[in-house]
């Protein structure tokens, strides 16, 4: 698990888990190598303290327990590169012989190890050594940024895992005892009356009997084809409004995707909206019924909504009828036919026997009064059940086929580690472009900071215990040099790895007034984002703002540079397995805020003197590192913290 966190660019959590595993008896040269990487990752030398040096020496001591293998070789390269940095920092120039040997050993490592060292030591490496490493890896960075078919796969990370389709199983129509008795009684009375009436009619005129029966047949056809469906449509029409929560989300999603599927022609679009309305309302009711019991978010069934919208649009384009409204004319014609048949029957029967006609009419009247409505309702339910079962089976088969197709399309969804690696390479590329623009090399940069936030309106997704990943980022790069701070902000299209809208500014160290993480309110006006600190928010604006946390760098001229920190509201995290404290610390680490806060707080306090103080701190840390490697320690010098995910409730790990 610790390795997964490291690959996902969450080194502080990885460091804790790998250390705890080593202290619990999981010892190997591989674990030692990754322990060192996790300890050094996303840290500059002034971020290393006694605890970190103890971990480094303990990892080296653990590796020494095992035979010399590929993991020990990689670990030795890491340690030797840091020794080279130490000598360059102390002497002002690198030890070329030692660095050449270390660089040759680095080049001899497998590509995967070199990639890990380059990514995780990016904050530690500096000066001439970093220039050489980046010169070697420049082509590799460009290649890896778009590797593994990034452009065609990255969108899949933001697609929810689809929920399998569920079949609609309509209950069979049943009659309660009272209605059943009424139907049987009505059928007996009506049958006797009808037979009596037909006999009387046949005795008078066979032709009129045939005509009356033909008219009754026409009424039956109109009733079955139009009348019975109309009865159910009037009784069981789905609601057009749904309450909040999951039902409202389903309703909104269905409307959204059906609107996107509408024809572009305005006239056809209006017809589409009218024709597809009953389909939309029924789909909403079905989805809420099938998935409302165990779903709180519409994401896992969005594929189903999207497919139904596309399938319905295809039917509309082919000219197939979407509405099943019964034709009032057919129902009226059927009722007229029945009335004419009744009139013919009564007149014809009366010519044979007036009293017989009255008796037959009385029986038919009693039967109609007793069972007419219930009989039609039951017949409607029987016919509708048979039709619904057949339609549900066809629909489920089509949905299952689409589910299998969509699941196969998402089968090569990127892992969280791949998303983290692509973002790391993007940040390296942005830094290299900034250095070229300013005519700087790594030797001219005392420290650099990369901070990220999700771009407004972008998509986001995450895995369990992982940070939020975004489809678009705003990347802020700070280059701290002898002459001051060079700050570059770019928009990053993460789908394509393209940057745009570059903004640059430069200011002196004395211009930095403060650096802090604070509660803010965010308002969007015409697509533009406005961030306000809590003390600047007017009470009347509270309802208009999205509340969040942000890293705020304030300058003495009252300008602010803000970086929003991931906001884990309800529904974004698993409350049963994750804690908001754990996720908040994770967000600060992965956005780069933790490291930036420490450095920029020091700059705001020390001003121009930060340069001299930083060099002094770095020299002390380098000496401490050299001493830690001369007298390696053991693993058991520090207490173990809980290694379970979410165990930062009370004491988040120090970055």
Report CA 48 to chain centroid distance, whole Å: 36
List C-alpha distances in Å: 137 to 107, 113, 141, 442, 517.
Answer: 10, 13, 6, 14, 35
pLDDT at 452 (0 to 100):
95
Question: Please, are residues 278 and 322 in contact by the beta-carbon 8 Å criterion?
Answer: yes
Which residues 6+ apart lie within 8 Å of 259 measured at CB?
A: none
pLDDT at 455 (0 to 100):
92
Report CA 475 to chain centroid distance, whole Å: 21
Nearest alpha carbon to residue 451 among 573, 554, 561, 533: 561
pLDDT at 648 (0 to 100):
35
pLDDT top residue among 392 and 93: 392
pLDDT top residue among 626 and 392: 392
Which residues 6+ apart lie within 8 Å of 507 measured at CB?
A: 484, 485, 487, 555
Name the residue with tokens 């489920």. Answer: 396
Tell me what the mean pLDDT of segment 26-50 comes to: 87
Give the Cα separation of 366 and 12 in Å (integer). 85
Residue 459 has pLDDT above 50, yes or no: yes
Give the Cα separation of 389 and 439 in Å (integer). 72
- Across 32-46, 214-228, 612-626, 628-642, least confident range: 628-642
pLDDT top residue among 320 and 629: 320
Give the Cα separation of 285 and 240 in Å (integer). 9
What distance, in Å, lies between the first and last C-alpha atoms of the chain? 19
Tokens of 17: 């888990």
- Confidence tier at 565 by pLDDT (50, 70, 90): confident
Report the 3 state secondary structure along 358-402.
HHHHHHHHHHHHHHHHHHHHHHHHHHHHHHHHHHHHHHHHHHHHH
pLDDT at 393 (0 to 100):
92
pLDDT at 629 (0 to 100):
66
Name the residue with tokens 């790990």. Answer: 653
Note the pTM of the prediction, 2 decimals.
0.77
Number of Cβ atoms within 10 Å of the Cβ of 567? 17
Residue 530 has pLDDT above 70, yes or no: no
What are 505's strand-pairing partners?
A: 487
Instruction: Classify each residue of 521-541 as buried b or exposed e, where b means 16 or more C-beta atoms within 10 Å of its C-beta.
Output: bbeeeeeeeebbbeeebeeee
pLDDT at 55 (0 to 100):
87
- Across 35-49, 387-401, 448-462, least confident range: 35-49
Tell me what the mean pLDDT of segment 64-93 comes to: 86
Instruction: Classify each residue of 167-184 as buried b or exposed e, where b means 16 or more C-beta atoms within 10 Å of its C-beta.
Output: eeeeeeeeeeeebeebbe
pLDDT at 411 (0 to 100):
95
Tell me what the mean pLDDT of segment 24-53 comes to: 87
| 410-430 pLDDT tens trace | 999 999 999 999 999 999 999
Q: Please give the helix or strand (H or E) that residue 562 lies within, else none.
A: strand 560-565
Give the Cα separation of 466 and 582 in Å (integer). 10
Tokens of 533: 């600190």
Nearest alpha carbon to residue 598 among 437, 449, 461: 449
| 169-202 pLDDT tens trace | 887 777 777 777 776 776 777 667 677 666 766 6
- Across 21-30, 236-245, 441-450, least confident range: 236-245
pLDDT at 88 (0 to 100):
75
Give the Cα separation of 145 and 350 in Å (integer). 95
């Amino acid at each position: 698990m610790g390795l997964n966190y490291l690959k996902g660019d969450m080194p502080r959590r990885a460091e804790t888990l790998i250390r705890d595993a080593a202290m619990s008896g999981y010892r190997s040269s591989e674990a030692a190598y990754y322990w060192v990487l996790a300890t050094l990752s996303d840290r500059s030398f002034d971020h290393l303290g006694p605890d970190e040096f103890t971990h480094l020496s303990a990892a080296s001591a653990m590796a020494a327990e095992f035979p010399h293998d590929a993991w020990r070789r990689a670990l030795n390269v890491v340690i030797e590169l840091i020794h080279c940095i130490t000598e360059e920092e102390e002497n002002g120039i690198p030890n070329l012989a030692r660095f050449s040997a270390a660089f040759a050993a680095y080049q001899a490592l497998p590509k995967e190890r070199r990639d890990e060292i380059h990514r995780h030591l990016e904050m530690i490496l500096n000066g001439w050594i970093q220039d050489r490493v980046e010169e070697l890896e420049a082509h590799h960075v460009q290649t890896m940024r778009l590797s593994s078919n990034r452009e065609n796969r990255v969108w899949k990370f933001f697609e929810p895992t689809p929920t399998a389709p569920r079949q609609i199983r309509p209950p069979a129509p049943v009659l309660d005892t009272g209605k059943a008795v009424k139907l049987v009684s009505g059928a007996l009375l009506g049958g006797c009356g009808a037979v009596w009436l037909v006999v009387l009619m046949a005795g008078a005129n066979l032709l009129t009997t045939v005509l009356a029966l033909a008219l009754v047949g026409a009424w039956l056809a109109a009733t079955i084809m139009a009348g019975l469906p109309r009865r159910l449509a009037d009784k069981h029409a789905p609601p057009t409004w749904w309450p909040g929560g999951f039902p409202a989300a389903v309703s909104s999603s269905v409307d959204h995707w059906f609107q996107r599927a509408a024809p572009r022609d305005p006239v056809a679009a209006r017809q589409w909206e009218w024709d597809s309305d009953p389909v939309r309302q029924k789909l909403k009711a079905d989805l809420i019924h099938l998935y409302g019991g165990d779903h709180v978010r519409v994401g896992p069934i969005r594929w189903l909504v999207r497919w139904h919208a596309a399938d319905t649009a295809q039917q509309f384009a082919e000219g197939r009828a979407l509405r099943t409204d019964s034709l009032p004319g057919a129902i009226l014609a059927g009722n007229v036919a029945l009335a004419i048949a009744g009139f013919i029957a009564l007149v014809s029967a009366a010519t044979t026997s007036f009293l017989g006609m009255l008796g037959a009419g009385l029986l038919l009247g009693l039967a109609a009064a007793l069972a007419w409505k219930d009989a039609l309702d039951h017949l409607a339910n029987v016919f509708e059940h048979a039709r619904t079962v057949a339609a549900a089976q066809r629909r489920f088969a089509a949905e299952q086929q689409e589910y299998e197709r969509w699941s196969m399309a998402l089968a090569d969804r990127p892992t969280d580690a791949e998303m983290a690696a692509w973002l790391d390479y993007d940040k390296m590329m942005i830094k290299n472009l900034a250095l070229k623009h300013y005519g700087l090399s790594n030797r001219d940069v005392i420290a650099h900071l990369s901070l990220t936030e999700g771009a407004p309106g972008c998509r986001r997704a995450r895995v369990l215990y992982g940070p939020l990943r975004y489809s678009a980022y705003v990347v802020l790069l700070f280059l701290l040099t002898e002459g001051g701070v060079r700050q570059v902000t770019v928009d990053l299209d993460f789908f394509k790895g393209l940057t745009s809208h570059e903004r640059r500014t430069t200011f002196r160290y004395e211009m930095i007034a403060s650096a802090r993480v604070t509660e803010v309110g965010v308002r969007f006006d015409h697509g533009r984002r406005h961030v306000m600190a809590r003390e600047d928010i007017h009470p009347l604006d509270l309802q208009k703002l999205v509340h969040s946390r942000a890293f705020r760098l304030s300058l003495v001229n009252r300008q602010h540079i803000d970086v929003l920190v991931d906001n884990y509201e309800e529904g974004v995290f698993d409350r049963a397995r994750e804690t908001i404290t754990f996720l908040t610390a994770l967000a600060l680490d992965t956005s780069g805020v933790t490291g930036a806060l420490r450095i920029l707080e020091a700059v705001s306090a020390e001003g121009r003197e930060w340069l001299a103080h930083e060099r002094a701190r770095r020299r002390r840390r380098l000496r401490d590192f050299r001493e830690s490697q001369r007298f390696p320690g053991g693993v058991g010098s520090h207490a173990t913290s809980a290694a379970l995910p979410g165990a930062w409730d009370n004491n988040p790990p120090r970055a």
